[in-house]
């Protein structure tokens, strides 16, 4: 009887084990949870051994019940990476950035040979990079930045021939780069090795990286030797940062190395030649004079005399007189063109006076503090943020990268010599008659301070240039984050459903502030994904408000055809030269925007309900993943009408939702609430649209803090 009872118990336990037994892949992931000592946000809370598979766990994505993705960034998780993760044979993507992981990366992790993206940045990982890294034949993204990795890069890294993004900045890597670095990794698009202890020469074959984009950052290392001229073979748009190394010799003047500011080369005392002020010895030939000068002799016997020939003396005197005249003429031109004269109403010169202005560099009076008249030109940088410390010379000498252009000007990324980064928008030329109007408008905008609005730091006004200087927001625009990967461009950001709701919640708060709490109760008037920038934690920052008004003032009485626009190919250069170079003018045309409310094309005065409509279109874009001008068969249809057609045809929710969100477990009721809210914002009647305060309150309820 006892034996039968024991057999029954064994059968029962065996049956129970079959019911609740977690599969092998779940066990491998569970080892990660067991290695975690802190999980402040409960990111791994629903990782339970009672499940039969891990496919419903937070941060885990599966295909055919095989784990393909582990994505848990910015959750404050503290622990180490277990070797068991390498047993996930179909694992393609790991993103554990911005946590508190420590210890070394186990070599067994690289047994997951399907791995395509490994992002472990901003942790406390250490140790050397295992030789087994070479097994990752399919990896295209390796981001280990902001950790404590050390040792040299293994030669096996060259075997990762599909690698496109290698970001190792902010570690303690040492030694030279592996042999064949430039020939084995020819698909590389982004390379950042800055802030390490790499040494040796820069490989000549690095010039073969023809797919590079953005910045090739080798700064703050110990690279020595000369700069290989082969780097000039890289694409023109690539900015090469070689600052703070031990490089020597002349700076090659070809390709992307030419016409750069000094910022890219500072911190290398042994470098010489332009753009540095340290000339190479060959650039300044030492003048050679004969020990004696032959003089004119009376007997013509070719003997040596004791003085200069009379013809030499006359030539020297004439040259001196001509030189003095030229200098006087130049000073006169400087006075009349820069300092100017004051004319009477009849157009004749009434009073000639030295104007005490900062722009009159010929006759500057340092004690001048008087106000400018309406017709005088200001040539000074006005700081609107007391915490900012830089002057105009620093700004104009900095290296600049053209980020983009639109109807309101050109936007540059500007890096000062101390590494401080700004965003500078160049407006049009002319319009000096309206300085006071510009000053009033820009200083009102400069008073806006809100966590979801880009801060205007300073501005500069002159007849030739009008500059607006902002905080630089590092992760680009919402448009790039949402659509870059779908258009074939590289994007380092993947927006989850939670990220998208937080972005819209922050944007709603920023617009509510502009509408109700700003000094002039602004209307943005041009809200779209490219005007919503993303900060370090994907917090949204609204940019571009007030630009239309400022651009109109800046252009003054000029015609649209005289506005200078940038060249098609963005590139780094010194900001001063970038602003002064002559660029072919292009006529501007106004295209109908799918983000603008229908009534905005008829009404004269802007309405806050215009912004509500634009917000609704952006919200639909985040929900559907489609552009504002969506494809409907072989024709184009604006996104609002496309969603309306889906509603009328009673299409399933999955048809409307962005396919990139299909793997996430999203509450369908919440999606429907978001669609209803966005459709209310794009109502054809402005009176029936909610206010931004109502929208913000609704999103606060849907997206708790």
Q: Which two tokens stand for residue 110?
A: 């690289």
Q: Helix H segments across 462-598?
A: 478-483, 497-516, 547-555, 575-580
Radius of gyration of the chain (CA): 33
* Strand, coil or helix: 621: helix
The one catalytic residue in 192, 526, 611, 638 is: 526
Residue 580 token pair: 């002064």
Question: Which residues make Cβ contacts (< 8 Å) with residue 7, sequence separation at least 6?
Answer: none
Q: Residue written as tokens 């073969």?
A: 208
The total number of residues written for the chain in this structure: 705
Question: Per residue in 628-639, is it b (16+ CB within 10 Å) or e — as a string?
Answer: bebeeeeeebbb
Report DSSP letters for 169-205, one per residue: -SSEEEEPPPTTHHHH-TT--EEE--SSEEEEEPPGG
Is there a cis peptide before residue 66, judged by omega within 30 degrees of 0? no
- Cα 599 from Cα 686, distance rounded (Å): 8
| φ, ψ for residue 524, nearest 5 deg | -65, -55
DSSP secondary structure letters along 256-322: GGTT--GGGTTT-TEEESTTSS---GGGSPPP---SS-----SS-S----SS--HHHHHHHHHHHHH
CA 564 to chain CA centroid, Å, is 23
Name the 3-class secondary structure at 652: coil
Distance (Å, whole) CA 269 – CA 338: 38
CA pair distance 74, 223, nearest whole angstrom: 33
Cα separation, 237 vs 226, whole angstroms: 22
Tell me whether residue 359 is one of the annotated catalytic residues: no
Q: 153 to each of 144, 178, 375, 391, 609, how far by Cα in Å? A: 12, 7, 62, 41, 56
Q: In the beta sheet, which residues pair with residue 423?
A: 413, 470
| Structure-block tokens of residue 25 | 């892949």
- Using the 8-state DSSP alphabet, how is residue 633 labeled? T
Please identify every residue annotated as catalytic.
Answer: 526
């Amino acid at each position: 009887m006892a034996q039968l009872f024991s057999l029954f118990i064994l059968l029962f336990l065996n049956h129970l084990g079959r019911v609740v037994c977690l599969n092998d892949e779940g066990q491998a992931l569970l080892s990660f949870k067991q290695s975690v000592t802190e999980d402040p946000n409960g990111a791994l809370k629903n990782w339970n051994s009672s499940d039969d598979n891990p496919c419903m766990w937070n941060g885990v994505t599966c295909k055919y019940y095989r784990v393909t993705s582990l994505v848990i960034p910015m959750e404050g998780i503290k622990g180490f990476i277990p070797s068991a993760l390498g047993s996930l044979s179909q694992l393609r993507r790991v993103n554990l950035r911005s946590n508190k992981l420590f210890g070394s990366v186990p070599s067994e992790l690289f047994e997951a040979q399907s791995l395509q993206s490994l992002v472990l940045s901003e942790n406390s990982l250490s140790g050397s990079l295992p030789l087994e890294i070479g097994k990752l034949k399919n990896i295209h993204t390796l981001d280990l930045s902001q950790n404590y990795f050390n040792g040299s890069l293994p030669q096996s890294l060259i075997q990762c021939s599909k690698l496109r993004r290698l970001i190792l900045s902010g570690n303690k890597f040492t030694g030279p780069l592996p042999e064949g670095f430039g020939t084995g990794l020819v698909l590389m698009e982004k390379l950042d090795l800055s802030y390490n202890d790499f040494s040796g020469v820069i490989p000549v074959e690095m010039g073969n990286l023809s797919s590079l984009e953005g910045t090739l950052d080798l700064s703050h290392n110990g690279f020595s030797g000369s700069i290989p001229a082969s780097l000039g073979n890289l694409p023109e748009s690539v900015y090469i940062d070689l600052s703070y190394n031990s490089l020597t010799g002349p700076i090659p003047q070809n390709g992307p190395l030419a016409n750069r500011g000094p910022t890219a080369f500072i911190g290398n005392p042994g470098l010489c030649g332009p753009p540095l002020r340290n000339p190479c010895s060959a650039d300044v030939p030492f003048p050679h004079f004969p020990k004696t000068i032959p003089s004119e002799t009376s007997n013509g016997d070719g003997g040596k005399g004791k003085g200069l020939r009379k013809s030499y003396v006359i030539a020297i005197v004439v040259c001196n007189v001509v030189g003095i005249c030229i200098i006087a003429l130049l000073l006169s031109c400087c006075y009349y063109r820069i300092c100017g004269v004051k004319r009477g109403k009849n157009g004749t010169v009434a009073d000639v006076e030295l104007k005490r202005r900062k722009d009159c560099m010929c006759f500057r009076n340092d004690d001048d503090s008087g106000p400018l008249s309406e017709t005088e030109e200001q040539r000074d940088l006005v700081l609107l943020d007391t915490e900012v410390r830089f002057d105009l010379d620093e700004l104009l000498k900095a290296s600049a990268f053209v980020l983009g252009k639109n109807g309101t000007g050109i936007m540059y990324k500007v890096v000062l010599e101390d590494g401080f980064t700004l965003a500078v928008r160049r407006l049009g030329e002319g319009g000096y008659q309206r300085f006071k109007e510009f000053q009033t408008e820009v200083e009102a905008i400069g008073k806006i301070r809100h966590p979801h609005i880009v801060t205007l730091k300073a501005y500069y006004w002159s007849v030739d240039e009008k500059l607006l200087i902002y905080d630089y927001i590092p992760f680009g625009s919402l448009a790039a984050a949402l659509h870059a990967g779908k258009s074939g461009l590289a994007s380092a950001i993947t927006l989850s459903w939670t990220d998208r709701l937080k972005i819209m919640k922050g944007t709603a708060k920023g617009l509510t502030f502009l509408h109700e709490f700003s000094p002039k109760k602004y209307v943005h008037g041009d809200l779209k994904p490219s005007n919503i920038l993303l900060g370090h934690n994907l917090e949204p920052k609204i940019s571009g408000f007030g630009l239309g008004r400022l651009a109109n003032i800046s252009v003054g009485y000029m015609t649209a055809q005289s506005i200078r626009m940038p060249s098609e190919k963005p590139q780094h250069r010194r900001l001063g030269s970038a602003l002064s170079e002559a660029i072919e003018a292009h006529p501007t045309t106004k295209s109908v925007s799918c983000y603008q409310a229908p009534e905005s094309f008829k009404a004269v005065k802007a309405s806050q309900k215009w912004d509500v409509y634009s917000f609704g279109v952006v919200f639909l874009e985040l929900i559907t993943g489609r552009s504002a001008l969506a494809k409907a068969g072989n024709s184009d249809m604006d996104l609002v009408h496309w969603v309306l057609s889906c509603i009328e045809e009673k299409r399933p929710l999955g048809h409307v939702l962005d396919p990139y969100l299909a793997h996430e477990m999203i509450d369908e009721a919440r999606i429907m609430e978001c669609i209803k809210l966005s459709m209310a914002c794009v109502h054809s009647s402005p009176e029936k649209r909610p206010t931004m305060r109502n929208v913000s309150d609704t999103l606060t309820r849907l997206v708790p803090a």
